[in-house]
Structure 1
Amino acid sequence: MSGRRGRRARRSPLPSDRSALDRRLARWRRAVEIRADWQRHALRSAPADRAAAEAAITALYARVGAPPPAFEWVDSPAAALRSVPASTAPAPARFAAVEHRLASLMSSLRERLGDPLGDPLRVPEPRDPPSDPETALRSGAPLRPVLAEEVHRALRRRIRDAVAGPVKSALPGPTGLCWFGQHEVDWIAHCDVHRRLWRFDDADALEPWALLARSAGWWWPREGRCVVAERPAAVRVEPVPGASTGELRLHAATGPAVRYPDGWAVHSWHGTRVPAWVIEDPAPERIAAERNVEVRRCAIERLGGWERYADVAGLALVGAAPDPGNPGCELHLYDVPYRQSGSSVRLLLAVNGSAERDGTRRRYGLHVPPWFRDPVDAAGWSYGLTGAQYARLLRRT
Structure 2
Amino acid sequence: MSAAPIRSSASRRATLPENFNLFDEDSQALEKIRDVWLERGLCTRPADRSTAESSVVQLYRRSGLSKPEFVWVPSPRAGSDLIATEELLTKMSVDGTGLDCPSGYIASMFAASRRRMDARIERRRTDWQIERRQRERLIRASVWESLHTTLFDGVAAAIRTTLTPVAGRVTWYGQQEAHRIAYYETFRRYGLATFDSEDRELLDVQTALADSTGWWWAFDNVCIMAERPTALNAEPIPGSVQGARRLHHSDSPAIEFGDGTNAFVLHGAIVPDWVVLDPTAERIAQERNVEIRRCAIERIGWDTYIDSAGLTLVDETDDPGNAGCLLQLYASPEGWGRSGRILLAVNGSLERDGHRRRYGLHVPGWFTSAMDAAGWTYGITGADYACLVRRT
Match of 1:260 among 252, 257, 262: 257
Is 2:235–2:245's contact at 8 Å kept on the other side of the alignment? yes
Amino acid at match of 1:150: S
Which residue is 2:361 aligned to? 366
The code of the aligned residue for 2:229 comes to: P
Give the gaps of 5 or more residues in structure 1. 1-21, 124-136
* Of 304, 317, 324, the match for 1:321: 317
Tell me the distance in 2 between the aligned counterparts of 1:171 and 1:74. Answer: 13
For residues 113 and 49 of structure 1, the distance between their equivalents in structure 2, rounded to whole angstroms, comes to 28
Matching of residues 17-96 of structure 1 within 5 Å? 25-26=23-24, 28=26, 32-84=31-83, 85-87=87-89, 89-92=91-94, 95-96=99-100
- Are 1:180 and 2:179 counterparts? no
Paired residues for 1:5-16 under 5 Å: none
- Which structure's CA Rg is the greater one? 1
Counterpart code for 2:23: L
CA distance in 2, matches of 1:349, 1:143: 44
Query: What's 2:147 paired with?
Result: 155
- Could you tell me whether the CA contact under 8 Å between 1:325 and 1:390 is conserved in 2? no
Asked if the contact 1:109–1:206 (Cα under 8 Å) also holds between the matched residues in 2, the reply is no
The residue aligned with 1:194 is: 187
Q: Is the 8 A contact 2:374 2:385 kept in 1?
A: no
Q: CA deviation at 1:318?
A: 4.1
**Structure 1 counterpart of 2:327, from 328, 331, 338:** 331
The match for 1:101 is: 105
Runs of 5+ consecutive residues of structure 2 not aligned to the other structure:
1-19
- Gap change, CA 1:89 and 1:286, over 3 Å in 2: same
* Contact 2:117–2:195 (CA under 8 A) maintained in structure 1: yes
Q: How many residues align structurally? A: 357
Change in CA separation of 1:66 and 1:291 when aligned onto 2, cut-off 3 Å: same
Distance 1:142 1:349, change over 3 A: closer
Q: Alignment partner of 1:215: what SS? A: coil
CA spacing shift, 1:204–1:386, aligned 2, 3 Å: closer
CA shift, 1:339, in A, is: 3.7
TM-score, normalised via structure 1 length: 0.79
> In the superposition, relative to structure 1, how do residues 38 and 348 fare at CA in structure 2: closer, same or farther (>3 Å)?
closer
> Distance between the aligned counterparts of 2:334 and 2:296, measured in 1?
14
Structure 1 residues 142 and 393: CA distance shift in structure 2, 3 A: closer
How many angstroms does 1:225 deviate by?
A: 0.8
Kindly indicate whether residue 163 of structure 2 is the aligned counterpart of residue 165 of structure 1: no
Which residue type is aligned with residue 206 of structure 2? W
* Residue 220 (str. 1) matches residue 217 (str. 2): yes
Query: In the aligned structure 2, how far is the partner of 1:382 from the partner of 1:245?
Result: 30
Cross-structure match for 1:127: none
Q: Residues 2-53 of structure 1, C-alpha deviation per residue, up to 9 Å, x if partnerless?
A: xxxxxxxxxxxxxxxxxxxx97614956654443222101100111111211
Alignment partner for residue 351 of structure 1, among 346, 349, 359?
346
CA contact under 8 A between 2:40 and 2:175: conserved in structure 1?
yes
Contact 1:287 1:299 in 2 (8 A): yes
Question: Does the 8 Å CA contact 1:331/1:375 hold for their aligned counterparts?
Answer: yes
- Which of 202, 206, 227 is 1:230 aligned to? 227
Amino acid at match of 2:39: R
CA RMSD of aligned residues (A): 3.2
Tell me which moved more, 285-294 or 202-211: 202-211
Distance (Å, rounded) in 2 between the aligned partners of 1:193 and 1:311: 55
Return 233-242 or 26-35, whichever deviates more: 26-35
Shift of 1:114: 3.9
1:255-334 alignment, distance < 5 Å: 255-304=252-301, 306-323=302-319, 326-334=322-330
Q: Which amino acid in structure 1 is aligned with residue 343 of structure 2?
A: L
Contact 2:330/2:341 (8 A) holds in 1: yes
| CA shift for structure 1 position 343 | 3.1
Sort the Cα spacing of 1:396 and 1:140 in 2 relative to 1 into closer, same or farther, 3 A.
Answer: same
In 1, are the aligned partners of 2:162 and 2:263 still within 8 Å (CA)?
A: yes
- For residues 330-387 of structure 1, give each alpha carbon's deviation from its aligned partner in whole angstroms, at most 9, with x where no partner exists: 23333443344x33444332234x4257575432223345565554455456567776
TM-score, normalising length from structure 2? 0.79
